[in-house]
Amino acid sequence: MAFPAKYPSLNDTALTDEARSTLIRVIRVAFPHDSFPDGPYERTADTILQAAEESTWFRVALTQGLLTLAHLAGGDFRDLDEDAATSVLRRIESTEFFGFIRRTTVLNLYDDPEVWEAVGYEGSSVEKGGYVNRGFDDLTWLPEPRIETYTGEPIVEIAPSVPLRPLHHATHGSSESAASTSSNTNTQPGATQAQHAEVSK
Amino acid sequence: MTEQNRQGQPIAQDDRAVVIVGSGAGGGTLAYELTQRGIPVVMLEAGAYITHDDYVNNEWEAFNQMAWLDPRTTSGTWRIAKDFPNLPAWIVKAVGGTTTHWSGATPRFKAHEFAVRSTYGRLEGANLLDWPITLAEMEPYYDRAEIAMGSTHVHGRKALPANNNYKVFANGAERLGYKHYSTGPYATNAEEYDGRPASIQDGFNFQGDKNKSKWSTLVREIPRALATGLLDLRASRHVVQITHDASGRVDAVLYLDEEGELQRQEAALVCVAGNSIETPRLLLQSASPMFPDGLANSSGQVGRNYMRHTTGSVYAQFEQAVHMYRGETMAGVIADESRHDPDRGFAGGYYLETISLGPAFLASFGEPGTWGREFTKLIDAYVRTAGLWIVGEDLPQETNRVTLNSSVTDKNGLPVPNVHFDDHPNDLAMRNHGYQQAELLYDAVGSISAHRTPPYPSTHNLGTARMSEKAEDGVVDKWGRAHDVPNLFISDGSQFTSSAAANPTLTIVALAIRQAEYIADELRTGGI
């Protein structure tokens, strides 16, 4: 895909090293994790660049967005500290440019084994036999709780304050003691009138 | 793959067969129960045959492998329409349907949850109706469903052990004064049962269980139905229309085969179990001069009263490690709030259940649309995080509905379903109560912060072809049989007259067992 020669800068910008490193900085500022290495951020940026190559709309939005960042930053966005850079991103957070980066980052940055390692998530487990012998119950800072069904008083299913009609299907007690009766209890007004208008269209 | 997608005993396309559309909790159970009674069945499933060997312990990879990703649209004030406009529901497109990725919680409905109109009274904006059946009528079928599914805690099945997430959850419950907490009932084996092994606590439920410890129709009902020699399973076949004869009885289904060619299967009886978005979509796509508003839609209720449960999650952060992702995801339930007590500010009740997402899904679903350190601290605290899910009754509303989108089509040129949803004020009040109780629960065991996560794309989809005593109030009768069409049945959660608080799978299975008995009797006595 190429843009008309009248706008050669559009063809250049999206794929320059400068654009890529600015994009990496945008992702780091928008999704700051002090414990994450550079690799996942770089891979996410490359995924975004790849997606932009495949979509005219995203490519245009990305190119324009990166140019605008420099304007708002009053220079090179990469030179801003985190607070200043965050302020710039807050100003553009409703743009398609930022929305595209945000959505793509959320979907890809956290689907990365290096990120899982950084946050302490262990990933696929079935090939290791699950966690049945590897700590599914190793929490010791709280007492061992009961796992069985409570054997005291059953739940009062309907609060005593609720008036029940005669011939009612339910009782205030638990379900085991519920009476079973049959009666026509459809007295909800409104429904049938409302549907006639719809059906007759 | 193609070979796997056509299994069992072939039935001729011009044979007037019993046809089931969908192979999940409703369709899979029905196929099993009917073939056990000697009735041959054609089962058409839109998804492919994917098994435990194919599943992967990776959230996005599994999602792309199993989820129903055909385009859908959304409208209404629910947050899903903003965050995930083309993903109203997170359900499965594969043989076994959504039972292949469900968590496993199997609470029963309470007696009054079959009688919500009489119990709750008239609630503004809600289209409440009592079910035409009672808990007492359902109890024998609940028993059979629990035994089939191997629910823990009942019928002698051992409880699952406490995993780390449950330890936090249950201790918080105890300190908050809750009594009715436990690790189940939960349809995953704590010890070997029914030919399937005990859980290895691998932590992957929503991705399909590679160990086959979790019940699904894929591991139990479908292989046993195939073994009878009476099931013709045709997967990767998407049904696009149900046709009828001059008398208004259904006579065939039209479906797209694996090559996208339209095929016709003659039918004596059709049971639709495509989950609560595809089921009404199919009925609406089957409109004809005789049924101008859609098949079986003289009531105007097809597609309406769409319910998704009042849900939400709370993820709480602690000083010390939790590792919530290890072990059975939802083997933890608190029932104390499942009562009906309007003094809390809402009708109906809710359960609290343990839940866990991996970092990939927590990033996508934890707080959609946000970024910056407020967002990243949720991920940074991942191993010190405990999570729970609120699941409660949401109210049927006529305007919450599935319709055909007249301007968006899928790859087959069919109109996509649009799902419109607005939260009822009762739903909002219940969700806020649940959030607050969850935060109190975690605070009681020393949380340092807690985050309220909005509802995920809906995993429980209900009510769009509801049961009613009278034909003008709903789509099907107490057996799931269409009021308007004597040989058409609805066999999934679309039948639900109201949502109750309980996770729906057990009730869908129990209703399907009951419906199979009825269908077999009617076929034998000539009632259909």
DSSP 8-state assignment for residue A146? P
For residues B340-344, average pLDDT: 97
Question: Looking at residue B252, what is its pLDDT?
Answer: 98
Say what the pLDDT of residue B528 is: 86
pLDDT (tens digit, 9 = 90+) per residue, A115-163? 999 999 999 999 999 999 999 999 999 999 999 999 999 999 999 989 8
A130/B203 CB distance under 8 A: yes
Q: What is the pLDDT of residues A70-112, one digit of tens each?
A: 999 999 999 999 999 999 999 999 999 999 999 999 999 999 9
Option in A110, A147, A152 nearest B162 (CB): A147
Please name the residue of chain B whose CA is at the shortest distance from the CA of residue A181. Answer: B134
Reported ipTM: the value is 0.94
- Residues A31/A105, Cβ–Cβ less than 8 Å: yes
Q: Do A111 and B111 touch (CB under 8 A)?
A: no
Check if the beta carbon of residue B49 is closer than 8 Å to that of residue B7.
Answer: yes
| CB-CB under 8 Å, B380 with A33 | yes
pLDDT band of A8, cuts 50, 70, 90: very low
How is chain A split into domains, by residue range?
A: 17-119
Residue range B125-146, pLDDT digits in tens: 999 999 999 999 999 999 999 9
pLDDT digits (tens, 9 = 90+) for B194-228: 999 999 999 999 999 999 999 999 999 999 999 99
The pLDDT, as a whole number, for residue B79 is 96
- Distance from the A64 Cα atom to the nearest Cα atom in chain B, whole angstroms: 21
Interface of A with B in 41-70 (CB under 8 A): none
pLDDT at A169: 53
Confirm or reject contact between A26 and chain B (CB < 8 A).
no
- Reply yes or no on whether the pLDDT at B120 is more than 50: yes
Name chain B contacts of A129, Cβ cutoff 8 Å: 200
- Chain A residues inside the 8 Å CB shell of B442: none
Question: Closest to B179 (Cβ–Cβ): which among A150, A169, A171?
Answer: A150
- What's the pLDDT at A182? 37
Residues of A in contact with B182 (CB under 8 A): 146-150
pLDDT tens digit sequence for B91-108? 999 999 999 999 999 999
Does the pLDDT of residue A196 top 70, yes or no? no
Q: What is the mean pLDDT of residues B280-292?
A: 98
pLDDT at A2: 42
Burial class (CB in 10 A: 0-12, 13-18, 19+), B149: buried
Which pLDDT band holds residue A3 (cuts at 50, 70, 90)? very low
Q: Which residues contact B195 (CB under 8 A, 6 or more apart)?
A: none
User: Considering CB atoms only, which of A131, A145, A146 is closest to B327?
Assistant: A131
Q: What is the band of A172 on the pLDDT scale with cuts at 50, 70, 90?
A: low
Arithmetic mean of pLDDT over chain B: 97
Residues 114-133 of A with CB under 8 A from B: 115-116, 119-127, 129-132
Q: Residue A64: what pLDDT?
A: 87
**Closest by Cβ to A159, choosing from B166, B339, B376:** B339
Q: Predicted confidence band at A200 (pLDDT cuts at 50, 70, 90)? A: very low
Contact B380, A36 (CB under 8 A): no
Q: For residue A88, give the amino acid letter.
A: V
Rounded to the nearest 5 degrees, what angle is found at the Cα of B22, between the Cα atoms of B66 and B70?
A: 45
Judged against a pLDDT cut of 80, whether residue A61 lies above it is answered with: yes
Q: Are A25 and A78 in contact (CB under 8 A)?
A: yes
pLDDT at residue A18 above 50? yes
Mean pLDDT on A57-69? 88
Q: A175 falls in which pLDDT band (50, 70, 90)?
A: low
Instruction: Tell me the average pLDDT across B320-337.
Output: 98
Least CA distance to B183: which residue of chain A?
A: A147
**Are B286 and B248 within 8 A, CB to CB?**
no
> What integer pLDDT is reported at residue A168 of this predicted model?
55
Residues contacting residue B49 through CB under 8 Å, at least 6 positions apart: B1, B4, B5, B7, B94, B95, B233, B235, B236
Size of chain A in residues: 201
Residue A97 with chain B: CB contacts under 8 Å: none
Contact at CB, A132 and B398, closer than 8 angstroms: no
Q: Is the pLDDT of residue A63 over 90?
A: no
Chain B closest-CA separation from residue A136 CA (Å): 5
Cβ contact (<8 Å) for A170 and B168?
no
Interface check A200 vs B, CB under 8 A? no
Q: Which of B464, B423, B376 is nearest to B81 (CA)?
A: B423
Chain B residues close to A168, C-beta within 8 Å:
115, 118-119
Q: How confident is the model at residue B2 (pLDDT cuts 50, 70, 90)?
A: confident
Model pLDDT for residues B429-479, shown as the tens digit of each residue: 999 999 999 999 999 999 999 999 999 999 999 999 999 999 999 999 999
- From chain A, the residues in CB contact with B203 under 8 A are 125, 130-131, 136
pLDDT at A9: 52
Q: Which helix (DSSP H) or strand (DSSP E) does residue B505 occupy?
A: helix B505-525
Which chain A residues are closer than 8 Å to B119 by Cβ?
A: 158, 162, 164, 168-170
**Count of CB contacts below 8 A, A vs B?**
262
Identify all chain A residues contacting B137, using CB atoms and an 8 Å cutoff: 180
| Residue A174 confidence class, pLDDT cut points 50, 70, 90 | low
Q: Do A125 and B383 touch (CB under 8 A)?
A: no
pLDDT in tens, B403-437: 999 999 999 999 999 999 999 999 999 999 999 99
CA angle B425, B116, B495 (to 5 degrees): 95
The pLDDT-based confidence of B337 (bands split at 50, 70, 90) is: very high
Asked if B468's CB is within 8 angstroms of A186's CB, the reply is: yes
